[in-house]
Structure 1
Amino acid sequence: MQYSEVIDYLYSRLPVFHRIGAKALKPGLGNTLRLCAALGNPQDQFRSIHVAGTNGKGSTSHMLASIYGAAGYRVGLYTSPHLKSFTERIRINGQPISEEAVAEFVTKNRDTIETVEPSFFEVTVAMAFDFFARQDVDLAIIEVGLGGRLDSTNVITPLISVITNIGYDHTDILGDTLSAIATEKAGIIKAGVPVVVGETQAETESVFRSVAALANAPISFADQQYSLQDSGITNGRRLVTTVDVKGAKTTYRLDLLGQYQLRNLPAVLATITGLQTPFPVAESAQQIGLASVVSSTGLKGRFQVLQQEPFVVADTAHNEAGLRALFAMIETFPRHELRIVLGLVADKDRASVLSVLPKEAVYYFCQAQTPRALPADTLQREAESVGLSGAAFPDVDTALQAALSQSTPTDLIVVTGSNYIIAEITNL
């Protein structure tokens, strides 16, 4: 099969989460283990870092990949979902897997796929692990898809586990309390494997400590190891000074401009420190890696500036905590009018999302071209019921063009609400 045929096959034959939501999930790790066994258990043939969390796990994974790449290692990176091309999910030193390699994998293993009947995500995980093993990576950064305990990626035994933070998202699957969600995320903690938790949270700290103790896994909380001072954005970089527990100060120039990245940075630094013996990283590599995450890994959609006048930014924030962090940063930017292009998926806790959005903004409601998308007119009605006013549009490009046409050069436009909305911006 050719690449286009393979992609059509994967989307039509297999349950896909971004199209049908929770119904695409296959409970347990059995399918992934069966796929990996048929491939010769590639998950056991490379060393890895496993990254989970409600928000920030994608950015954290990309920052780690950029740093280890700058240090001279051959680094695999598995993330999801993709924005523009399926090949974005599987990278080595920033280069996506080739379309030919994707086609070859599916064609070669089609009989196994038909026999196992996995989900779309289970196949992509197996594909990534097979590719990393065959390409002999030094280290692979593996981002959890959803949750942790039952996530398909959880068949690896990493060198270190990372959990960025816990917030309310996918509550229909993971639970409706922070402690319940934390228990699912803590499922990536393995016996004797160190774990780094990015943020200390009163509702979840005891969960992580308890699970780590039962697994005899050394645990550390990164925000207790590093304090940060934000110096704002200068020359296209966010200047951040860190102070470790010994009082040593270091200033980094981050090309990921979102102020919320300061919540991810301690976990990144603690992870690098924790793996210095098997994977030494010089301070210079940390500096280079953090200053070039976008160019070295291809990361998009994290406070990505699309143009200057009016100032337009795209961000994949899609839950209450993520949007709260995004708009706290937006408040620091001078502007005349705030315009928000917004689209959501239907299976989110929309009431909590809408509750954190600024009421003074002008809204342009839209929908992604996926069955999970909330219709724009439904979103408009629900938003108006809580004091958010604006017009509905059939897609993000149309909504963004309307916002641009009504803006002055001093306005600020934010496009947000869903990965799928950001993915459909033509000029991303």
Structure 2
Amino acid sequence: STNIVMPLVSVITNIGMDHMNILGDTIEKIAIEKGGIIKKGIPVVIGETDKTTASIFELIGAAKQAPVYFADQRQYVAEWKYEHHKLMTGVDSQHHTDRTAYLLDLPGYYQTKNLLTVLAACTVLQENGWKLPESVIQSALRQVKKMTGLHGRWDIVHQHPTVILDVAHNEAGMQQVVEQLELTDYHDLHIILGMVKDKEIGKVLSLLPSSAHYYFTQADIPRALDANELREQAAAAGLRGKSFPDVNTTIKEVLAKAKPEDLILVCGSVFIVGEVNL
């Protein structure tokens, strides 16, 4: 990893098999590369404890005299629910019985993992003398989209039928999306999928539900996987559908046929989501 700023706290979210041509072809190699952001004497928060990578981060931290904190060992999400496309959570400490409620404007359940990471980073800052009131943390979490411009993570952009954009493009990200689908109510599921050539296409396709209606498309970039080729690979994985030249043509066609209670998911590539015009 390359970074030029001196942080107050470093954060490593989770480690997945992506960008392997740059980061390495094993989880261990990727963890070592990601560990490059750890600075001498600067605390680092690890979002998720993983037996394969935990010791790697601990060794790097020890070598650089950087305290290592695992977010999911400090707190856990004890309860959660959706309300008006927002995520309401109750977070407990691993060492105390107090429960704190947090409301996020990011509705995906997988954001609970990111929430714990953020809270751990805030705690580390507080422990190092920063005045970071709980009210400020609460306010920021309620308006993440407004404050950061973050879009494309279980991003609900249309109602009746529901249209959701998600930039999941690798095995780990798509697994989270599939789990989120299992928590979501809808009549029929329509998946608009576009990917780039250098991803592990087969692993992503193997996760997707065969019961959905599929529409294969491509982004307007050189790296885009041809929609017809994606359709052929998907058919080999038991996912059948039509191919379309661009994502907005696809959405127009799906909206015309979908029922109000259906769910339309656009996913597979940051570039596909970025081209959506609704």
* Equivalence for 2:17: 168
* Equivalence for 1:193: 42
How far 1:246 sits from its partner (Å)?
2.2
Letter of the structure 2 residue corresponding to residue 304 of structure 1:
D
Match of 1:257 among 102, 107, 111: 107
The alignment yields a C-alpha RMSD, in angstroms, of 1.1
Q: Does 1:223 align with 2:72?
A: yes
Match of 2:179 among 322, 328, 339: 328
Mapping 1:294-305, distance limit 5 Å? 294-305=145-156
How far 1:394 sits from its partner (Å)?
0.6
* Equivalence for 1:238: 87
* Equivalence for 1:275: 125
How far 1:278 sits from its partner (Å)?
4.3
Is the contact between residue 340 and residue 413 of structure 1 (CA under 8 Å) also seen in structure 2?
Answer: yes
Q: Does 1:178 align with 2:21?
A: no
Of Structure 1 and Structure 2, which has the larger fraction of its residues in helix?
Answer: 1
| Distance (Å, rounded) in 1 between the aligned partners of 2:182 and 2:103 | 22
* Equivalence for 1:425: 276
| Distance (Å, rounded) in 2 between the aligned partners of 1:413 and 1:341 | 7
Match of 1:247 among 97, 103, 123: 97
Three-state SS of the structure 2 residue aligned to 1:182 is helix
Mapping 1:2-401, distance limit 5 Å? 148=1, 151=2, 154-244=3-93, 245-276=95-126, 277-401=128-252
How far 1:336 sits from its partner (Å)?
1.3
| Distance (Å, rounded) in 2 between the aligned partners of 1:312 and 1:165 | 27
| Distance (Å, rounded) in 1 between the aligned partners of 2:142 and 2:178 | 24
| Distance (Å, rounded) in 2 between the aligned partners of 1:164 and 1:339 | 30
Structure 1 alignment gaps of length 5 or more = 1-147
Q: Paired residues, what number?
A: 276
Q: Which runs of 4+ in 1 moved over 2 A?
A: 245-248
| Distance (Å, rounded) in 2 between the aligned partners of 1:296 and 1:212 | 31
Letter of the structure 1 residue corresponding to residue 111 of structure 2:
Q
| Distance (Å, rounded) in 1 between the aligned partners of 2:79 and 2:239 | 31
CA distances 1:129-174 after superposition (whole Å, capped 9, x unpaired)? xxxxxxxxxxxxxxxxxxx2xx3xx122211110001011011221
Structure 2 alignment gaps of length 5 or more = none
| Distance (Å, rounded) in 2 between the aligned partners of 1:230 and 1:321 | 23
| Distance (Å, rounded) in 2 between the aligned partners of 1:313 and 1:229 | 26
> What's the TM-score, normalizing by structure 2?
0.96
| Distance (Å, rounded) in 2 between the aligned partners of 1:398 and 1:278 | 53
Match of 1:405 among 256, 259, 262: 256
Three-state SS of the structure 2 residue aligned to 1:155 is coil
How far 1:229 sits from its partner (Å)?
2.6
| Distance (Å, rounded) in 1 between the aligned partners of 2:264 and 2:165 | 9
CA distances 1:214-239 after superposition (whole Å, capped 9, x unpaired)? 11110010000011034211133211
Percent identical across equivalent pairs?
A: 45
> What's the TM-score, normalizing by structure 1?
0.63
| Distance (Å, rounded) in 1 between the aligned partners of 2:19 and 2:85 | 34
Letter of the structure 2 residue corresponding to residue 265 of structure 1:
L
| Distance (Å, rounded) in 2 between the aligned partners of 1:409 and 1:229 | 33
